[in-house]
Amino acid sequence: MIPKFSVIIPTLNEESVINECLQQFEGISGPLEIMVVDGGSDDRTEELATAHDYVRFIRSPSRGRAVQMNAGAESATGDLMLFLHADTTLPGHWRRSITDSMKGSETAGGRFRFDISDPRRIFRWIAKGTNFRSRVLGITYGDQAIYTSRNMFDRVGGYPEILLFEDSEFADRLKREGAFDWIDTPVMTSARRWQRRGPLRTLMLTWLLRVLYTLSVSPKTLTRFYRTVR
């Protein structure tokens, strides 16, 4: 039996991708709620999201992915929660994969293998590097579709409400409570972030910010050098 899922999607001016994201849930039967938690979009995100009658649209009290995901989790009714970026699509049978992953009493949560929608070779290498970073170095980002249970989310206190690297910090919180599983089927993320700045420049900037964050430079300071393309 598949438990009830809450899929929580933080948005901010996502009119270019929100329809494709939400269409992947059309026709799915069984206990499932799709929640779009908006951080104050001034484009057509709300109009497009609410056109899907199975979507719960929530206005976050303030902007920021961590705040938005916590706001969604607060009103979620599912036994399992999946945090999904608006430019990411899930593989088929994702509910079964997560359900199987969470069966073990020692499992606190997990993430999926990562892939990028652009087929060019440079993006194949970026995807390989991201998966190496996640599996070997233990660094997980939100575009890998992090999942956990309702009880575990509450136990770790949700997402830390910081402006950058909130996803990897949340993953680290889960790891301290139990196993952090890996589903070896990829989620597909849009290449728009790398296409906007250029793949090598974006990759180098991401690693630079990660190093500075590890050296205790505050997320607030780091956001001056990095504006997420959403």
**Domains, the chain, ordered by start:** 5-194 (3.90.550.10)
pTM: 0.92
pLDDT recorded at residue 227: 56
Task: Check residues 201 and 116 and name the one with the higher pLDDT.
Answer: 116
**Residues 6-32: b if buried by 16+ CB within 10 A, e if exposed:** bbbbbbbbbbbbbbebbebbeeeeeeb
pLDDT recorded at residue 216: 78
pLDDT recorded at residue 127: 95
Q: Over the stretch 142-173, which tens digit does the pLDDT of each residue have?
A: 999 999 999 999 999 999 999 888 999 999 99
Instruction: Please give the average per-residue pLDDT across 190-199, as a whole number.
Output: 87
Instruction: Please give the average per-residue pLDDT across 192-217, as a whole number.
Output: 83
> Which whole-number Å values give the CA distances from 13 to 39, 52, 158, in the listed order?
9, 17, 24
pLDDT recorded at residue 228: 47
CA distance 2 to 7: 14
Q: Is 156 left (phi over 0), alpha (psi -120 to 50) or beta?
A: alpha
Is pLDDT above 70 for 226?
no
Task: Check residues 4 and 30 and name the one with the higher pLDDT.
Answer: 4
Is pLDDT above 70 for 230?
no
∠ CA 153-156-157, nearest 5°, is 80
pLDDT recorded at residue 217: 80
Q: Over the stretch 62-94, which tens digit does the pLDDT of each residue have?
A: 899 999 999 999 999 999 999 999 999 999 999
